Structure 1
Amino acid sequence: MRVYIPSTLRLLGIACTAGELGPAPLTAYAVTPALREWYAEGDAEELEYAAMAQAARASVGLLAADPDTARRRVVVAAEVSAVPPADGSVELGDARLELHVVIPWTTVAAVHLDAAGAGAMVGKAADLWDAAQNGDDDALFALDSCEGEDLLWYATQEVPDLLAAERSRGGVTGPS
């Protein structure tokens, strides 16, 4: 099953160096029964996109918690063999899962990342994250605006070069 794990450039660098995403538990997003029921008319590709969009939104929350990292959403797509069933407490349309395992880097299929030009918009949304969580209309608008930005696709073998380029621009700090 394909899962989408929200991240940041700093966390991506740590995962790439460590050879795994963790520690467990990890919040991930996938095509869940709740998402399938909410988006009943969606085909498989649309459902995957909806799950990835929820992970991208959660990435803004990670950026809000780490103001020193580059203001670009990161979503790591990975293949996992089993996902625990929903416990019935999820809302209709929710793609969120909690994974109680560390995800080996070898299971990462791709990394999705905002273009550098999206930094100002994503940064504003991250700055307003708490207000958006409290229902502030302007903050929600800023958060929703991020969804208009497409995430770029990177193969796993491109990630080390991507991180090195970001380090040289000052966008990533932490392990090399």
Structure 2
Amino acid sequence: MRVYIPTTLAGLAEAYKAGEIGPAPLDAFAVTPGLREWYVSDDIEELEYAALTRAAQASLRLLAAHPDVPRKRVVVALDVGDGEVRHDPDRGLDPGTLGEVRLARAVPLTKAAAVHLDAAGAERDVRAAADAVGAADTGDDDARFTVDGAEDHELLWYATQEIPHLIG
């Protein structure tokens, strides 16, 4: 199963140094039954993009909590066994929890399929969005507009061999 773990550049550097993404438990996003139902799609690429987008939103929240790290959203895509992933089907179609899963153990970085990261040109919008995400979560429409501005930037795809370059 492909899962998307939100992190930051500092978190990616720690994972690279440790050889694994952790510590457990790890919050991640994946194509869950609820995500499938919400998006009403059988196109796996479209559904995986939706899970990636949810992880990018979670990365933005990590940036808000850690103002000292570079202002780039980072998502690590990993392939893990279905049995390693837990999701709560009772959460239903709550848009705030769509695609959320949990991994009970740290995951070796060798299971990473790719890293998704903001381009340098997104930094201003991502910085503003990280500053506004708390207000957006409480219903501030102007803050929501600012957060949406970061979401207008597509995350770039990088091979795992490029991680040293990304964190350097």
Q: What is the TM-score normalised by the length of structure 2? A: 0.93
Per the alignment, in what secondary structure is the counterpart of residue 91 of structure 2? coil
1:131 alignment counterpart: 135
Is residue 145 from structure 1 mapped to residue 146 from structure 2 by the alignment?
no
2:88 alignment counterpart: 86
2:48 alignment counterpart: 48
Q: Is the 8 A contact 2:28 2:103 kept in 1?
A: yes
User: Within 5 Å, which residues of 2 pair with 1:27-106?
Assistant: 27-82=27-82, 83-92=85-94, 94-106=98-110
Q: Which structure has the highest helix share of the two?
A: 2
Q: Cα distance, 1:42 vs. partner?
A: 4.7
CA distance in 1 between partners of 2:127 and 2:87 (Å): 34
2:3 alignment counterpart: 3
Task: Specify every segment of 5 or more residues in structure 1 that has no aligned partner in the other structure, as ranges.
Answer: 165-176
Q: Cα distance, 1:85 vs. partner?
A: 4.3
CA distance in 2 between partners of 1:68 and 1:84 (Å): 31
Q: Which amino acid aligns with 1:57?
A: Q
CA distance in 1 between partners of 2:87 and 2:101 (Å): 9
Q: What is the TM-score normalised by the length of structure 1? A: 0.89
User: Within 5 Å, which residues of 2 pair with 1:156-171?
Assistant: 156-164=160-168
Q: Cα distance, 1:84 vs. partner?
A: 2.1
Task: Specify every segment of 5 or more residues in structure 2 that has no aligned partner in the other structure, as ranges.
Answer: none
Percent identity, aligned pairs only, is 55
Q: Is the 8 A contact 1:74 1:111 kept in 2?
A: yes
Equivalenced residues, count: 164
CA deviation map 1:12-71 (0-9, x unaligned): 000011001111111100000000011113511100000000000110000001101111
Is residue 112 from structure 1 mapped to residue 116 from structure 2 by the alignment?
yes
Runs of 4+ in 1 over 6 A off after TM superposition: none
CA deviation map 1:66-99 (0-9, x unaligned): 1011111000000110222434124345011121
CA deviation map 1:141-173 (0-9, x unaligned): 111121210111111111112211xxxxxxxxx
CA distance in 2 between partners of 1:111 and 1:52 (Å): 11
CA distance in 2 between partners of 1:135 and 1:85 (Å): 27
- Which piece of structure 1 moves more, 33-42 or 57-66? 33-42
